[in-house]
Chains A and B, each alone.
Chain A
Amino acid sequence: MLDKLFMYLEFPYVRYAIIVGVLIALCSSLLGVTLVLKRYSFIGDGLSHVAFGALAIATVLNFTNRMLIVLPLTIVSAILLLRKGQNAKVKGDAAIAMISVGALAFGYLLMNVFPSSSNVSGDVCSTLFGSQSILTLTQTEVLVSGILAVIVVGIFIIFYNRIFAITFDENFANAVGTNVGFYNLLIATVIAIIIVLAMNLVGSLLISALVIFPALSAMRILKSFRAVIVFSAISSVTCALAGLLISILAGTPVGSTIVAVDVLLFFTCTIVGRIKA
């Protein structure tokens, strides 16, 4: 079995997939804790649909580097959605559902009206479930993912204390003069970057799982914010690595395999949490 693994590792696209996979798992788990706690889990879902719509536009327009169009569009949507969420007069969940469903429908429509390949439903399927795209990464895409991941992790570490402060008690932070608006904007931008990154790995439908599961698993068993962050980062990377290797060896779809491992860990943590309590 190891022989088989080493044989696969000879191929650059397999190595690329593993590198990018681990980077995405790391980034998404970091922000996942904040998202889950701020009750923004829905934003992951909404944004991934926006990213899907943007991807459709990029495909139809025949962009060579599709990230150039997907990233700005998703960031703008993230900022808008987070603004809406803060404004009590606008029903936040309805706005997100609208944008999310609209973008999904619009993207699918575009792909059908202007088919860039003969296999439209195959294309859509791989965008949603990410089954193929991770194995077709180019060197540039790996580089871009790497740079974005470094930025995300850097921002998270640098602003860790502020992120904790506004996640725990936004009103207090605001009252004592922390620039809550700016940090919410920053979080929105980083989330958008992570979603776009993650689309390459697990596809838009499974992104939420990647963002939410490591955080939820950690929260079952740990009781301080830092411990939860560290555990979810480590467990997310481990699950991603395990999922990737399993999918290479067993020939299963990458995204679903990773999420399956994440779900398994979640149930393990739930049981451990019960026993401890």
Chain B
Amino acid sequence: MSLLAAKNLTVGYDGHGVLSDINFEINQGDYFCIVGENGSGKTTLMKTILGLQSPIEGKIEYGDGFSKNEIGYLPQQTEVQRDFPASVFEIVLSGCQNSLGRRFFYSDEQKKLAYKNIKKMGIADLKNRCYRELSGGQQQRVLLARALCATKRALLLDEPVAGLDPNVTSEMYQLIKELNDEGLTIIMISHDIQNIQNYASHIYDVNRGKEAPSC
């Protein structure tokens, strides 16, 4: 049984399809990349996978006992209020919200995990800074650290390297690869075809509607 499968899926807004006839299966441990032009509907597809919007036709099937609180997610754009007062640590820690279960407060382990991921993203010195005062690339790393806190079985990334400098970009791919090797399923949207071909186990082109297995 696959982790996630799209069956004759149509995604879009207000009853109008943006992408249709989407069919694919993602298995545990896959490194699944979604590619396509700007505006082709990649983000829309990912939001539908996450249940943030409902499919116009067809369905997404979750298998293998997969549940939403095992997902880590990096949105393409976070509509954060410009004046939102939140420290980097508070935001990264909020990634642990899906493992709170019935508890109300974060445990010491969860705080350690948050700190570990902050260090992993190389933003330890920004820990107590205000999110709104960071640069775009720094903000991206904060949200990545948050996604890492949330993930247990699958990591969904919408253009994770957009806005990162070349050094961090290659570190980022390395990191994602390591997570994948540890058994985490990766579902990633990217325009960076060259890097993707080196890492991905599956590449799905939304324009052709076909899954082209690489390597």
Interfacial residues, chain A to chain B (CB-CB below 8 A): 37, 39, 89, 158-162, 164-165, 168-169, 171-178, 218-219, 222-228
Greatest chain A CB density within 10 A among B78, B86, B87 is at B86
Instruction: List which B94-108 residues lie within 8 A (CB) of chain A.
Output: 94-95, 97-98, 100, 104-106
Decide: A169 and B130 in contact? CB cutoff 8 A.
no
B84 touches A37 (CB 8 A): yes
A169 to B150, CA, bound (A): 14
Residues from chain A with Cβ under 8 Å of B94 in the complex: 161, 164-165, 168-169, 172
B68-76, B177-185, B193-201 - the one binding chain A: B68-76
Cross-chain contact B146 with A177 (CB below 8 angstroms): no
CB distance from A158 to the nearest CB of B (A): 5
Q: Is the CB of A172 within 8 A of B67?
A: no
Q: Who on chain A is nearest to B100 by CB?
A: A161
Q: How far is the CB of A154 from chain B (nearest CB, A)?
A: 11
Which residues of A have CB within 8 Å of B68?
A: 175-177
A161 near B105 (CB under 8 angstroms)? yes
CB-based closest 10 A-B pairs? A177-B68, A223-B130, A177-B69, A224-B87, A176-B98, A175-B50, A175-B73, A165-B94, A165-B97, A228-B85
- The CA-CA distance from A37 to B86 in the complex, in Å, is 11
Q: How far is the CB of B156 from chain A (nearest CB, A)?
A: 8
Contact B128–A178 (Cβ < 8 Å) = no
8 contacts between A and B (CB under 8 A): A160-B104, A162-B100, A168-B80, A175-B50, A176-B68, A223-B129, A225-B90, A226-B90
Contact check: which of B50, B85, B100 meets A227 at CB < 8 Å? B85
Candidate in A89, A159, A160, A171 with the most chain B CB atoms within 10 angstroms? A171
Residue from the set A89, A172, A225 with the largest chain B CB neighbour count within 10 Å: A172
Q: Which residues of B have CB within 8 Å of A162?
A: 97, 100
